[in-house]
Amino acid sequence: MKDENVIWHQHAISKQDRAQQKKHKPCILWFTGLSGSGKSTVAGALEYVLNEQGVHTYLLDGDNVRHGLCKDLSFTDEDRQENIRRVGEVAKLMVDAGLVVLSAFISPFSAERQLVRELVGDSEFIEVFLDTPIDVCETRDPKGLYQKARAGEIKNFTGIDSDYEKPTSAEITLNTSENSIQQSVEQLITHLKANGVIS
């Protein structure tokens, strides 16, 4: 906080009031994994199913957010940290509005993922680790970025010359090398039902 004269305003309608109008519990499904691990694909497929069930969702996607809110940020460690800090704050506002938020960012560092977890609390943060080995991601290479990174045309590429810290206690780990997109969606839906997010 830069200015101590900015005071928090308590409004009449609370987070609980907004949540009660929904048919689900608000939360963040935080997808993390290497480029090409399947974050956007699985998050998008899950959002489709949730929407069919009348769940109010929003999918925050790294590629898209970096065209607007975070278009001033690069892929240095510092800018990735700021990227996730901003996205975490946006996701928190969306949870406050009562949504099931799906976020698909590489989010390579444990500290920033933990920071977002602490913004909403354990009960509203579901970390989803796409545990896809880099050789599988590189074979998929849906945007040709690994090829460019190996050719030295992209610097600071995650998994090549920029770190990815694997989650050690994610709520859900998806194996996209062995399981289909549909099986991953079923695994996620089962978790959401078991934890009372959806009925």
Ligand X SMILES: Nc1ncnc2c1ncn2[C@@H]1O[C@H](COP(=O)(O)OS(=O)(=O)O)[C@@H](OP(=O)(O)O)[C@H]1O
Report the catalytic residues: 107
In the bound complex, what is the minimum distance in angstroms from residue 160's beta carbon to ligand ADP? 14
Asked if 40 is part of the footprint of ligand ADP (rule: CB under 6 A), the reply reads yes
Tell whether 144 is in a known binding site: no
The residue with its CB nearest to ligand ADP is 38
Cα-based distances in Å from 127 to 85, 110, 118: 16, 11, 12
- Cα separation, 34 vs 21, in Å, equals 36
For ligand ADP, what does the binding mask look like between residues 94 and 113, x meaning CB under 6 A?
Answer: ----------x---------
- Cα separation, 41 vs 136, in Å, equals 15
Q: Which is nearer to ligand X, 15 or 148 (CB)?
A: 148
Concatenate the DSSP letters of all residues of 75-117 into one string.
SSHHHHHHHHHHHHHHHHHHHHTT-EEEEE-----HHHHHHHH
Which one among 27, 28, 32, 35 touches ligand ADP, defined by CB under 6 A? Answer: 35
| Binding residues vs ligand ADP (CB under 6 A) | 33, 35-42, 104, 140, 142, 176, 179-181, 184
